[in-house]
Amino acid sequence: MKVIDNANSDGKKVENHIIDFVISLKKQGKGLAAISNYVSAICEYYKMNDVVLNTNKIHQYLPEFRKSKKDRAYRYEVNPLRCFALPHMVLTMTHLE
């Protein structure tokens, strides 16, 4: 993405460049978090240089959140020694854990 000169910056022109940048990142397969990091840094840069941007319009082009990992519930794993232990040994193992 080419940085636009601050002296001649028009908010609409900058918004369109940022939106094009977001669309190109989506085509590359970047996720919501990665694109949000890029966009927030760019918007902050222009905010610090007194260029007014419609961030709501820009954020509408961000992709939807998608989970990358499948969450599973915690499962208690049975100690393999308990299967073959006598009852009094199981009580001892329980106290050791």
The pLDDT of residue 11 is 83
Render pLDDT for 70-91 as a digit per residue (tens, 0 to 9).
777 666 665 565 555 556 555 5
* pTM of structure: 0.62
The answer on pLDDT for 67 being more than 80 is: no
Q: What share of the chain is helix, strand, coil (3-state, %, to 5)?
A: 55, 0, 45
CA quadruple 53, 57, 61, 67: dihedral sign? positive
